[in-house]
Chains A and B, each alone.
Chain A
């Protein structure tokens, strides 16, 4: 048998019977790195070549293929390129040498910042910064050691270039593939030195994304595109009222429609299974279903608003306390207090929710655009009745995530339908299904109070937040009564201004419907109230909003730097006639940002011409991607600020498609100028923070334009002229 054939068999066996041992190694301060060592396959007496897989992230084949198992989901934020860049830097290859595959569920892929295998919270680079560089360095160290062994020389004499180890005199060279077999026999080093950032050749460069080519020719595969042999398609009838249940179904007409194979009652509604999706969808429309609407039928905008107001009258749980804000406010002669309202919002990923499941007696394959591989596995296991270990999750590209794909509600119906019909089934939601069965961004009600002393100095800041806890539903038991949900007090508990008495507290209030994490989560709620109210206080103090902030940020170097940069680049203070500037600053996800919005008022509406964003996100992995995330977040946040709201009536979302849930188009988009401040700090997150500054920056500009405060979003509720 040829060596190549032996290698193929070894690799195949490793694939089928892979068992993992966990060895944890603490590397550096605060970083937990999990190094997975794949046990040797049964060793053959002849020179067998083992696959070289020193950790769960890398596999190097004898044929020189280098595979990176990407544990984060690609939803546009660029992990498909940024994470391989971390590996490539230390491994010593060009980024595009790495073949990227999405990792399966596994303990090795736990996101240390979130405690589970989750892509979210702008944590991908932060979680991977040490972990993936270490993974690359481990592999490099072992490959060099294997070459050193082969050439009977010191590893220190060798260098790595373009995926090969080269001797000091340059005369000997062995590719990673050639070394893979020997390297696989070596122990995986626990401690490996990482490159000095001054010598980075990959990190910090704005190279083309690895997924760009396939996203320009239609070959990139999203969940909606998955095709399996003999696959059937399903359309799902869900309760029109959120959370309602099926009472009775008359499916006779539906079953008689062309192409229909079955009608399946699933745990999330009635699925019509057919040869094509269009046939399934047509047949779904002729199902006669009686629904038991359930308690949410009483839910509407009025009940939601009143509930928030009433809850706000209660005392909250302290999230930040310095001095005694309540006493300072009581004894002040100059107190300002205002309330801010934020609406429910839809995620509106352009790819509607979908899931493809292939359930067999001994296992099941699920193909899904998910941000949570282990939760997806658990949901599919529950729906199929199979043990989790027999459920394989295949993550596709996501046509947008924004937090919607942290949920697993679109998985069970596909699994249950496939189990029933005995064939693979793809369930695809319509846009209407998606918009009316979202897990909405919560509504919230924030009350801000500020007090000045006799000299006009701001001496007290109180921020009283009222909003539901998403985390309580997500991880029951984590947020105990009386403790703060950290995902409710972002951009509030970190109040940066130098004020002697500060109180930030939060009242938990269940709105009566399930709510979910939406890009930037409570940053978008709380930055609106914080930065709008700081402007109101500046006006009360008769100070320019930027000067007012700078005076209170003397101890905050990184905030000051981005604010100065945004002011400088935007021409703040010297707007042309009819144009007005508004500013906002925020720290979130370890990243400091300032934005200046330039607007005009036209016919009762605000027109946003330009957003300038200065960013200190520490070390930038790829400036092109980082800039793209600012552009993306600004459009996302501006869309919501201008028009975004989901209205509830009778427990049903009233917006059903993009005719009434308006999304920004090219002809409406402002110019966005992004300035990345040089920094050697550890990387901060970039997927979300810029979303949160847009609404207050624009609201503050509107005030400059017409002297009126907008304290509830979206702006379209208000007549602005």
Chain B
């Protein structure tokens, strides 16, 4: 049995150690907010945080996580109150919504690093998250808005 810490809780899984973290989260732990899009770390739909850093869970073997803290979309807030989520709702960002968990997780990590990102900062940090519905313009605006919400406390 492997022990992992997800969204603040210590959990156990009997998944094979080579199983990508993505599938442990989704199928073993029932946390389906993190999505599968490519399996090759090309699309970013599987983005989670490991010790606060964005990681593509589809290529991260669960055994490599160790004792580090995993945060998924479900762990951002109990009630959509995270500034990034609030900004996303305010600007009505999602369309089909499938990529949005990954987008949000990448955005949260960016803002933790750069509380006042420029457009260039945003483009660079978010380039790994594909949105097939093309919501990029609104994502960028929402990240700026989230930065405002975060700085105003």
A complexed with B: yes
| Residue of chain B at shortest CB distance from A217 | B80
| Residue of chain A at shortest CB distance from B19 | A278
Q: Which residues of B contact A634 (CB under 8 A)?
A: 134
Give the distance in Å from the alpha carbon of A78 to the alpha carbon of B28 in the complex: 32
Interface members, chain A 638-675 (any B CB < 8 Å): 657-659, 663-667, 669, 671-672
Give the distance in Å from the alpha carbon of A669 to the alpha carbon of B72 in the complex: 27
Shortest CB distance A484–B (Å):
32
B 15-43 binary contact with A (CB < 8 Å = 1; else 0): 11001100100111011111111111011
Quick check: is B129 within 8 A (CB to CB) of the other chain? yes
| Residue of chain B at shortest CB distance from A633 | B134
B 95-107 binary contact with A (CB < 8 Å = 1; else 0): 1111111001000
Report whether A218 and B132 are in contact in the complex, using a CB–CB cutoff of 8 Å: no
A277-B23, A352-B36, A657-B40 known; A217+B98 contact, CB < 8 A: no
Interface members, chain B 97-129 (any A CB < 8 Å): 97-101, 104, 122-124, 126-129
Give the distance in Å from the alpha carbon of A430 to the alpha carbon of B43 in the complex: 13
Report whether A663 and B74 are in contact in the complex, using a CB–CB cutoff of 8 Å: no
Give the distance in Å from the alpha carbon of A431 to the alpha carbon of B36 in the complex: 9
Residue among A78, A214, A276 with most chain B CB within 10 A = A276
Shortest CB distance A645–B (Å):
17
Q: Which residues of A contact B95 (CB under 8 A)?
A: 76-78, 628, 632
Shortest CB distance B65–A (Å):
15
| Residue of chain A at shortest CB distance from B62 | A278
Quick check: is B68 within 8 A (CB to CB) of the other chain? no
Interface members, chain A 209-225 (any B CB < 8 Å): 209, 211-222, 224-225
Quick check: is B3 within 8 A (CB to CB) of the other chain? no
Report whether A350 and B132 are in contact in the complex, using a CB–CB cutoff of 8 Å: yes
Q: Which residues of A contact B69 (CB under 8 A)?
A: none
Shortest CB distance B35–A (Å):
7
Residue among B43, B126, B136, B138 with most chain A CB within 10 A = B136
Q: Which residues of A contact B15 (CB under 8 A)?
A: 276, 278
A211-B97, A218-B101, A350-B99 known; A666+B32 contact, CB < 8 A: no
A219-B33, A350-B37 known; A276+B28 contact, CB < 8 A: yes
Give the distance in Å from the alpha carbon of A222 to the alpha carbon of B130 in the complex: 18
Quick check: is B85 within 8 A (CB to CB) of the other chain? yes
Give the distance in Å from the alpha carbon of A446 to the alpha carbon of B72 in the complex: 49
Give the distance in Å from the alpha carbon of A77 to the alpha carbon of B134 in the complex: 12
Report whether B96 and A397 are in contact in the complex, using a CB–CB cutoff of 8 Å: yes
Q: Which residues of B contact A217 (CB under 8 A)?
A: 33, 73-74, 76-77, 80, 85
Give the distance in Å from the alpha carbon of A635 to the alpha carbon of B95 in the complex: 13
Interface members, chain B 29-85 (any A CB < 8 Å): 30-40, 42-43, 45, 72-74, 76-77, 80, 85
Shortest CB distance B121–A (Å):
11
Quick check: is B150 within 8 A (CB to CB) of the other chain? no
Q: Which residues of A contact B76 (CB under 8 A)?
A: 217
Report whether B42 and A659 are in contact in the complex, using a CB–CB cutoff of 8 Å: yes
Q: Which residues of B contact A258 (CB under 8 A)?
A: 16
A212-B88, A218-B32, A635-B136 known; A351+B37 contact, CB < 8 A: yes
Give the distance in Å from the alpha carbon of A672 to the alpha carbon of B134 in the complex: 11
Q: Is the interface of A mostly helix, strand, loop or mixed?
A: loop
Chain A interface size, under 10 / 10 to 19 / 20 to 34 / 35 or more = 35 or more
Quick check: is A233 within 8 A (CB to CB) of the other chain? yes
Report whether A224 and B35 are in contact in the complex, using a CB–CB cutoff of 8 Å: yes
Report whether B39 and A431 are in contact in the complex, using a CB–CB cutoff of 8 Å: yes
A217-B74, A628-B138, A659-B40 known; A227+B32 contact, CB < 8 A: yes
Report whether A218 and B34 are in contact in the complex, using a CB–CB cutoff of 8 Å: yes
Shortest CB distance B7–A (Å):
11
Quick check: is A483 within 8 A (CB to CB) of the other chain? no
| Residue of chain A at shortest CB distance from B34 | A218
Give the distance in Å from the alpha carbon of A397 to the alpha carbon of B18 in the complex: 31
Q: Which residues of B contact A666 (CB under 8 A)?
A: 122-123, 126-127, 129, 131, 136, 139-140
| Residue of chain B at shortest CB distance from A276 | B27
Give the distance in Å from the alpha carbon of A405 to the alpha carbon of B134 in the complex: 19
Q: Which residues of A contact B132 (CB under 8 A)?
A: 348-350, 400, 636, 663
Report whether B98 and A632 are in contact in the complex, using a CB–CB cutoff of 8 Å: no
Report whether A218 and B72 are in contact in the complex, using a CB–CB cutoff of 8 Å: yes
Report whether A218 and B74 are in contact in the complex, using a CB–CB cutoff of 8 Å: yes
Give the distance in Å from the alpha carbon of A211 to the alpha carbon of B80 in the complex: 13
Report whether A350 and B96 are in contact in the complex, using a CB–CB cutoff of 8 Å: yes
Report whether B35 and A351 are in contact in the complex, using a CB–CB cutoff of 8 Å: yes
Give the distance in Å from the alpha carbon of A213 to the alpha carbon of B81 in the complex: 11
Quick check: is A208 within 8 A (CB to CB) of the other chain? yes
Shortest CB distance A528–B (Å):
19
Q: Which residues of A contact B99 (CB under 8 A)?
A: 350
Residue among A258, A276, A277, A666 with most chain B CB within 10 A = A666
Shortest CB distance A613–B (Å):
12
Partner of A430, one of B23, B39, B89, B136: B39
A 489-500 binary contact with B (CB < 8 Å = 1; else 0): 000000000000
| Residue of chain B at shortest CB distance from A636 | B134
Quick check: is A75 within 8 A (CB to CB) of the other chain? yes
Quick check: is B133 within 8 A (CB to CB) of the other chain? yes
| Residue of chain B at shortest CB distance from A658 | B42
Shortest CB distance B110–A (Å):
12
Quick check: is A590 within 8 A (CB to CB) of the other chain? no
Interface members, chain A 390-426 (any B CB < 8 Å): 397-401
Quick check: is A605 within 8 A (CB to CB) of the other chain? no
Q: Which residues of B contact A635 (CB under 8 A)?
A: 131, 133-134, 136
Known: A428-B36, A635-B134. 4 other contacts (CB 8 A): A212-B89, A351-B37, A665-B127, A665-B128
Cross-chain pairs A/B with CB under 8 angstroms, 8 sampled: A76-B133, A212-B92, A216-B85, A218-B33, A277-B23, A278-B16, A349-B132, A632-B134
Q: Which A residues contact B (CB, under 8 angstroms)?
A: 74-78, 206, 208-209, 211-222, 224-225, 227, 233, 258, 276-279, 348-352, 397-401, 428, 430-431, 624, 628, 631-636, 657-659, 663-667, 669, 671-672
Q: Which B residues contact A (CB, under 8 angstroms)?
A: 15-16, 19-20, 23, 26-28, 30-40, 42-43, 45, 72-74, 76-77, 80, 85, 88-90, 92-101, 104, 122-124, 126-140
The 5 closest A-B pairs by CB, nearest first: A218-B33, A635-B134, A215-B97, A399-B98, A76-B96
